[in-house]
Structure 1
Amino acid sequence: MIDHKKLRGLVKQLYSTVLELEAMFPGRHFTPDGHMVGSLGECLVADAYDLELLTASNKGYDALSKNGLQVEIKATQANAVAFRSKPAHTIIIKILPDGTFEEIYNGPGALVWKEFEGKRLPSNGQFQISLNKLRRLNQLVAASERVARAEPLRDQT
């Protein structure tokens, strides 16, 4: 069983440490990135939406919902995320320094993937999409097409 408050507290502590290091060494950046942000995001989303996390680097999706929906989880601190393939469903978040996150998109992967139609695949094999575009797409997703948050007790309070 996950200790929800402890998880958010550890993320907050991590970002607090980053700020302290940056204050000690002006001009140096200690922003968590790469695998760390991805793993933090997967854990925060799995906890908040009561998803079953799969083995890291599972191809095409990171977790399963209670009804078996395959969910690709994307987390960022920047203003865009990247996709290599069309997920069945995706939840995209922006991690905040206080240990919580902003849900950017929660819906069918096809709606996101449609944005890449007719575009040439970049040389790195990943299509980029901005968080602002994802926020607009998120407004088109019906409540019935979203993965529901876990009970309010586990919500980000």
Structure 2
Amino acid sequence: MHIGGLIKQCRFGKEGARTISGKTGDFTGQSRKYDPATERRAFCSMIEPPRRVVLPAPVAKIYEAVEELSRLYPGRPFTPDGHLVGSIGEVIAAEALGLTLYPPSQPGHDAFDEQGDIQIKMTAGKAISMYATCDRLVVLRVVTPHEAEIVYDGPGAIAWESAGPMAKNGQRRISLSRLKTLAQASNLPDEGGTNAGF
């Protein structure tokens, strides 16, 4: 089944049985049959619900300075970006989720754990950009000088499939609101009254 169909199942469900492999999230049609609710729960449970994490004190000082500069010079952008915000996101995600970071500029992924590779994105804006899909995607948003929210923690293929068209720079953008919708969909009750994320 196309990944887009599985995304829709997270939100709406689907009638009829089909086959999936015994490995969670590997929908290859090569193993025994499951009912739609079982399949949808297995797929959607790969997406963690949004949660907040405390920023380390040195990072908080950076965003406090940004907030102060914005007050002193209204209308001027002072949002950290580029390598700075990328590295901040990586160390925060690593500490919060128990990840091991790759050396800087590792192609495709920034960290790994016992389950596999992870790409990490962090922003203070409303969207992120992706050059390609990844095994697992973690997206953080700075919500205050002292806190970040893990907006999305789930399969990279879902985010990639849900992103906008390819831009001239070779990237596809996806809004944080769309990512949050995907994450929240994994916790919606299914038709039987159980939680889709369980």
TM-score bracket, normalised by the shorter chain, equals 0.7 to 0.9
After TM superposition, list the pairs within 5 Å mapping 1:13-92 onto structure 2. Answer: 13-65=61-113, 67-92=114-139
Q: How many aligned residue pairs are there?
A: 137
Give yes or no for contact 1:79–1:130 (8 Å, CA) kept in 2. yes
RMSD of aligned alpha carbons: 2.2
What letter is aligned with 1:47? Answer: E
Give yes or no for contact 2:152–2:179 (8 Å, CA) kept in 1. yes
User: What TM-score results when the alignment is normalised by the length of structure 2?
Assistant: 0.62
SS in 2 for 1:105: strand
Percent identical across equivalent pairs? 36
Q: Of residues 129, 133, 144 in structure 1, which corresponds to 2:174?
A: 129
Give distance in 2, aligned partners of 1:43 and 1:113: 23
Structure 2 unaligned segments of length 5 or more: list them.
1-53, 187-195
User: What TM-score results when the alignment is normalised by the length of structure 1?
Assistant: 0.77
Q: Of residues 93, 98, 101 in structure 1, which corresponds to 2:148?
A: 101
After superposition, give the CA deviation of every residue in 1:35-60 in whole Å (9 maximum; x if it has no partner).
21111111110010010011111111
Give every structure 1 segment of 4 or more consecutive aligned residues whose post-TM-superposition deviation is greater than 6 Å.
Answer: none
What is the CA distance between 1:139 and its match in structure 2?
2.4
Return the structure number with greater relative CO, CA threshold 8 A, min gap 6.
2
Given the superposition, is the C-alpha separation of residues 101 and 55 from structure 1 closer, same or farther in structure 2, using an over 3 Å criterion? Answer: same
Give distance in 1, aligned partners of 2:125 and 2:58: 21
Give yes or no for contact 1:52–1:64 (8 Å, CA) kept in 2. yes
Q: Please identify, of 69-78 and 13-22, the stretch whose mean Cα deviation from structure 2 is larger.
A: 13-22
Give distance in 1, aligned partners of 2:157 and 2:120: 14
Given the superposition, is the C-alpha separation of residues 130 and 54 from structure 1 closer, same or farther in structure 2, using an over 3 Å criterion? Answer: same
Q: Please identify, of 93-102 and 76-85, the stretch whose mean Cα deviation from structure 2 is larger.
A: 93-102
What is the CA distance between 1:34 and its match in structure 2?
1.8
